[in-house]
Amino acid sequence: MKLNEFPQVKGILRENVSLSEKTFLGVGGRAEFLFEPADMDDLVFFLKEIPETIKITPLGSMSNVLIRSGGIDGIVIMLGDWFKNIFVEDNILEVGAAVLCSKVSTFSMDHELGGMEFLMGIPGTIGGAIKMNAGCFGSEIVNILVECEGILSDGNVKWFKKDDIGASYRCTNIPDNCIITRAWFKGIPNVNYSIPKKVKEIIEQRKSSQPIGVRTCGSTFKNPDGFKAWQLIEQAGCRGMKFRGAQVSEKHCNFIINTGNATAEDIEILGEQVAKKVFDKTGVKLEWEVIKLGNSN
């Protein structure tokens, strides 16, 4: 389709948009089309009006995504300001899917609700965090989730209770064609610890153990059953390993960083080299936690 053949929307619809500067890794190609809906009605209308054959790719802050240099075909959908609101009532937070996880942690702290401190350690948005059941420092999204709202690629809205999403380690059964739009989380009032102190401890622990202030997108590989991915990578001698502009972090070897001039392909090749070395050394197969999208050049 051509740009002028799409339905008229209230939001922003653009063609051939670079995604690299929007990603945490600073690499990647272009979106064939990028749609930023003005609100929920705009998103529903758009999805109902476009041909069902067009591929839809929802993206958040892209904190856990590697976009290949060939870019993404079809329509990339990124949620804007209308999806960045937070409300609280009776210890339940209603959170837009485009809200950063760290903001939810701060909001919860300001309202003296516990249980959400760990979100300070997750760099992405709530929508993506729910989709993959993100977690850190001993907790994960499903532990606080009550319900979430999503919209399917045909424009139909669907709700998922906590028990409906089939959450497991870094995984849910929420359909790939579902865009999370809102979520409801249950906070814990009157906790017997200092929420600000716990949040500060998480911030300090993250600073001391992870590469901060560099181009990276969090843990590269999932932890295999019974193992820590970083320990396997260390054991295989991969700490600091390089491929062109990509490097395994010296500080935390389950992070791959863009040292300044890496391509998406450099990062993916380095990751595959690390996985092979780990398998050759330990017999354990690493699975990517980073989501790889798009076409190679």
Which string of DSSP letters, residue by residue, matches 142-192? Answer: GGTEEEEEEEETTS-EEEEEGGGS--BTTB----TTEEEEEEEEE-EES-S
At which residue do the structure tokens 């863009």 appear?
A: 258
Beta bridge partners of 215: 258
Specify the DSSP element, H or E, that contains 72.
Answer: strand 72-78
**Contact indicator for 103, 197 with CB cutoff of 8 Å:** no
d(CA 67, CA 9): 26
Residues marked active site are found at 170, 219, 289
- In degrees and rounded to multiples of 5, residue 152 shows phi and psi of -80, 165
